A = this chain, B = another copy of it.
Amino acid sequence: MSDRTAVKAFLKSQVIETPSWGYGNSGTRFKVFAQAGVPRDPYEKLDDAAQVHAATGVAPVVSLHIPWDRVDDYGSLVRHAKERGVRLGAINANVFQDDAYKLGSVTHPDPAVRRQATDHLLQCVDVMDVTGSHDLKLWFADGTNYPGQDDIVARQDRLAEALSEVYGRLGDDQRILLEYKLFEPAFYTTDVPDWGTSYAHCLELGEKAQVVVDTGHHAPGTNIEFIVAFLLRQGKLGGFDFNSRFYADDDLMAGAADPFQLFRILHQVAVNGGFSPSTGVAFLLDQCHNIEAKIPAVIRSVMNVQEATAKALLVDSEALGAAQRSGDVLGANAVLMDAYNTDVRPLLAEVRQEQGIDPDPLAAYRASGWAERIVAERVGGEQAGWGA
């Protein structure tokens, strides 16, 4: 898709989903540094997300995390979002912060804990029914810390049982996105540690279960774009959790640590049809802004995904294919690098102007006065954070 007009058209229609928890406080096990103006409830998170959408034009959807975003009346949350010009997206289940989950949730040796966890997942589907969310995103912190601690295969059986029950509860228009992660918080085994495990479970569940790729959840040296291409080939790529990393699951801004990798990933999405809405690939951010200002960090991340997308779309696929088929290693690589080395910021500025927004989203946000306003107004109450 190297036609400039078509590229611009796609860039205007792109949807990047931002995470409610990215607007709240976060940190490491060593310290959570609180920031002034941080939201105190899900409504204020939506207000912040709406600023990101206003600035970028491509972030109209917000993922929720239950119970972090639990409210009495989800209908009112839906209406609040609509008033702010955004809508609710994936529901992220959280079965890792209750005291019961010390040794696992759906894989816990105790059936009572598994029941509690599975019930929570089912309640998340209830929430989806109200919010109109299509995606139940499941990440399990489940695992063990010490060799011998629990039976690896028994835990898989328990996992399969819970997934199957939840799968049966899904509506026609709903699906499970099953995330995997190499380690943390579990340090010996993790029950869904890699894409293969997630894929195998999704395959057994059926069409409405797909794999979600969090770009920070792999072993060092893993070729993520290979996984993306493979899952697209199998029809099992449900979506992305974008963020970036130098070491482990650092959860830095998408595109900040390895912009070339982000480009390569989106190139695979492009050449394998993943940008077509019919494939249903979801493009979500999942990040922590521990030390930087949160809203500008989300804006920057959205821009990074946009720029990498633009470069991916600018690849001259005919020239690339010809070089590949003829075994021209350097030629094929050069076609790819030509797109990567292009400065697409002018193109995106144009796109934004055609969308009727400021060509410089960060400047627009700064000019809006929102940052000062939330610091002044959000006084009292408890700031939202990973534990709240």
Contacts and interface: CB of A to CB of B under 8 A. Distances in A.
A196 B195 contact: yes
A33 B387 CA distance: 12
Nearest to A182: B221
A141 to B, nearest CB: 6
B330 A297 contact: yes
Interface stretch (A41-49, A72-80, A127-135, A318-326): A318-326
A268 interface: yes
A187 B27 CA distance: 12
A103 B150 contact: no
A370 interface: no
Contacts of A14: none
Contacts of A268: 152
A166 B325 CA distance: 24
A266 interface: no
Nearest to A113: B327
A321 B342 CA distance: 27
Interface string A3-37: 00000000000000000000000111111011000
A268 B147 CA distance: 11
A333 B30 contact: no
Contacts of A152: 225-226, 229-230, 268
Interface in A84-125: 96-97, 99, 101-103, 109-110
Contacts of A320: 148
Nearest to A232: B153
A184 B222 CA distance: 13
Contacts of A185: 27-31, 290
A97 B146 contact: no
Given A199-B200, A327-B109, A230 B146 contact: no
A146 B256 contact: yes
Contacts of A96: 30-31
Interface of A: 26-31, 33-34, 96-97, 99, 101-103, 109-110, 141, 144-154, 156-157, 182-185, 187-190, 193-197, 199-200, 203, 218-223, 225-227, 229-230, 232-234, 245-248, 250, 252-253, 256-260, 264, 267-268, 271-272, 290-293, 296-297, 300, 307, 320-321, 323-327, 329-330, 332-337, 340-343, 345, 362, 386-387
Sort A-B residue pairs by CB-CB distance and give the 3 closest, nearest first: A196-B196, A148-B336, A219-B219
